[in-house]
Structures are given as C-alpha cells and as structure tokens.
Chains A and B, each alone.
Chain A
C-alpha cells in the first residue's frame, strides 16, 4: 500500500504531468515563438544557402563568362585575382578544374576538383544549386579511361597514381553514401 510519501509524489507527478500537457497543448506566446523559431531557422538556413549561391554566381560571373567564350587564360587570371580576396573558396577550385579540363590539363584539373569537393560536398550532389555532378562525372569517366591507360604503360609512375587516387576519390563521392 502506498504510504503518505508515495501519495505525495504521485500527486506531484500527476500535477506536473498535467501542467506540462497544458503547457504544450495550450497556445502560448512561447509556443508560438518556438514554432515561429523553427520556421525562421529553416528559412534562415535556406536564405543563407541561396545568398551564398547567388553571391558565388555573381562574384565568379566574369570567370564563367570568360570560360564560356573560350578565353581560358584570362579566366584563370581572373580567378587568381579573385583568389586574393577569397582564398581557399571551393567554388574557385571547381571553376579552375573546369578551365584546366578544357585545356586538357588532367592532373591539375582533377586535383582542383578534389579540393573543391573536399571543401564543399554540394558540388557532387545532383540536386544542389551548385551541383557539378555532370561535369565531375565526365572528368571521372574520361580521366579513368585516359589516365588509366597511361598507368598501365607506366605502372611505377607515382604522379599518375596520385591522379588515379584523386579520380577514385571523386568517383567515390559521386557514388554517394555516407560522408
């Protein structure tokens, strides 16, 4: 049989549980703020992501334009100049990879893509607004074919092996899985 001590605790339990239920179920300014807080937070995250995407697109637009018109050397120079303001920015690495690839510079292109993807995994997400899934896939497919053939001819060449490791890294990231 519960004694007085137990009864007191049982009553306390019921009262606190009831209070908690009331608190959660009754629309309170705090609850509204909590709900609003979630919305704000989600929106804030999205806004930040979009702002970042827009900022990158706007900042690197001259590089993209020069690349599109085939002025690769000028594009690289512009990228170098931007690198003074935004050193280590993965978007620069990705654009550099694309330019170098267009110039058939496989090794530095692959290394540049690797730096970019390590810096920001969004580039290998097919659905991301920053996605470079298609172009990185092409790098990997073509790279494995070309560099793979060279490795067969020169199996002891450590630089080719390094590029193969980079290509496998990109291939693995494109394949997905947990990070």
Chain B
C-alpha cells in the first residue's frame, strides 16, 4: 500500500477529475471515446494552424491550451515553475513526432487508450499490451544506462511554451483569419468552449501538482508495485471512467464496430509500444509533456513542438490509422520509429557505470 499522504490524495483527485472529464467532455460534445485525447487534439490543432489539409480534422482544441496554462498557473502559484532545458533537444523534438505516429497508428494517446477500454472497446487491449511492453522495454533501457543527458537551468527557454499557450488562447478567442475550423467530421464535434477550457485548466493544474502520467503510472508500478500512488490513481481513473461510461450509456463492450478503432491488433500493439518506450525515455506520456512544458521544462516543450509538427505530418502524409486499418506508410513510419529508438538507445547509452 502507498503512504496516504498529501501527494497520494492529490493523485487520486487528479485521476478522479481525469476520469470525469475524459468521459464528460465526450458526453458534452467531443468525439466518442475522445473526451480527452492528446494526439487527436494536437492533430486537430495542427490542422487549425494550417499544418495539414484534412478538412475534417481542423479545430484549435481549447483543452490543450488549458492543460499548458493550467500547469503554468499551478507551477506559478506553488513556486514550482523552473525554466530548464538542454537535454538532447533534437532527439526530443523527433521523439515528439514519433509519439504522434505511434498514437496515430493506434488511434489515440495513452489517455484515450484507457477511455476506449473503459467504454468497452476491446480492440484497445492490444494497445494496452503494447503500452505496457513499451514501458517495460524503456525501463530496461534506463536501467542499462540510456540517458539523454541532464537538463540545466536555462532562464529563457522555459517561458516560450507558456507564451505559445497564451498566443493560442488569443487565437482561439479572437479567431484570426488564418485559422481553419472544420464544419464537418470529428473536429467539428466539440464540447462548449468554456467547459473545454475550464476542464483543461483544472486538469492542467491538478496534473502539475500530482505529476499524474499514464506511462509514469505503469513505469512506477513496475518499479514500486502497489506502493506508488500513480498506480492507485490509474485505477481510480479507470473505475470512474467505466462508471461514468456505464451511467451515460456510452459503454459498448465488444471488439467490432467501436468508434475510432481498427482491427489490426499487431499494429495497435506496435503503435502503443512505440509510445510507451519513447515516453519512458523522455520522461512522460504526451499529456505529461504538455504539463512539464507548462512548468518551464523546455525539453518537454520541444517534445510538444515535435508533437504539433507530428500532428500535421501524420495527417498530411496519411499515416494515421482509420477504422479501415493502418495505411502502408503508417506501418513504415512505426518501424522507422523503432529504428529511431534503437539507434538512440545505442548512441545515448552510458556504458561507464
């Protein structure tokens, strides 16, 4: 059992909020099983910024802005804002792109994986297995000495993602002419603005305080078993999401005909394995990267920039899976992602210890 301290309860509250918001935002208008999906939202936002031309995937998702600004507010309030960076910047930028490829091939980020699972989508089990496997491999890598170098205090770097968050908020509110908004498709489905933004801000603050992270929960469960609060947090998230899905009539147990899902289980596994492995090496899942970027971590900020670029690329190049399955180049990109991981694992391994 973990120690029932303040941190434990913070994790529980954050997980509770994530479960409620994850299902609630879908009930309120976001696409099915996508109340919160970092990769889908980033693809939508990249489209809104004109980085891809899929007319059905263009919407500047206020939740994403909320996560970053919520983390900034919380880090500022509790004096945890710490501008830092300098750890393998280009590797992290590219890692952000490959995170989006892995998510695109699975159709969703690790949060959405659990939202899909808690809505009865059994195809996500392959993704879950992949995520766990990826985290485990990543942990083995860390234990073997893979390390991207220490981040240093950098007075300037950490402010730019929060600034970008403010700029995007202004874009969202004032809607300059260059922004694109879908009128049909999943990007045209969204919860009311204030609800999305408010939920984003609240979750951003809670996640910053609690350090909640999906891959971190799995990683810590490997390391600390039941003693890690994150495992309990993950369980609370799952239980709340299942309950809410059942209550709201969104629970449909089955393998077939699930929203935003495909039946190519090997590629679901591979996509999430890529995400899990990358997340462990760069210190957090896509959601956690947004939160860390909000508390001044410029390295996480570069991952976020990479994810935005990746969000544009996966749509523009047609790498994302659809209900029909994973496209050829999506499979190729996934394997290139593993090549990237393996190469970096060899190059960045500290063999002296």
Contact = CB atoms under 8 A, between A and B. Distances in A.
Given A38-B176, A178-B34, A168 B189 contact: no
A125 B260 CA distance: 14
B322 interface: yes
B272 to A, nearest CB: 15
Interface stretch (B125-133, B180-188, B333-341): B180-188
Query: Is chain A's binding surface mostly helix, strand, loop or mixed?
Result: helix
A179 interface: yes
Interface residues of A, number: 29
Contacts of B257: 140, 168, 171-172, 174-175
B238 to A, nearest CB: 19
Give chain B's interface secondary structure class. Answer: loop
Given A34-B177, A38-B176, A177 B259 contact: yes
Contacts of B186: 176-179
Given A177-B260, A178-B37, A178-B108, A172 B323 contact: yes
How many of chain B's residues touch chain A, expressed as a range? 35 or more
A9 to B, nearest CB: 13
A37 interface: yes
Contact of A169 (B185, B259, B323): B323
A80 interface: no
Contacts of A121: 56, 184-185
B183 A177 contact: no
B263 interface: yes
Interface of B: 31-34, 37, 40, 43, 54, 56-57, 107-108, 175-177, 179, 181, 183-186, 189, 252, 256-263, 320, 322-324
Interface of A: 34-35, 37-38, 41-42, 45-46, 49, 114, 118, 121-122, 125, 127-128, 140, 165, 168-169, 171-179
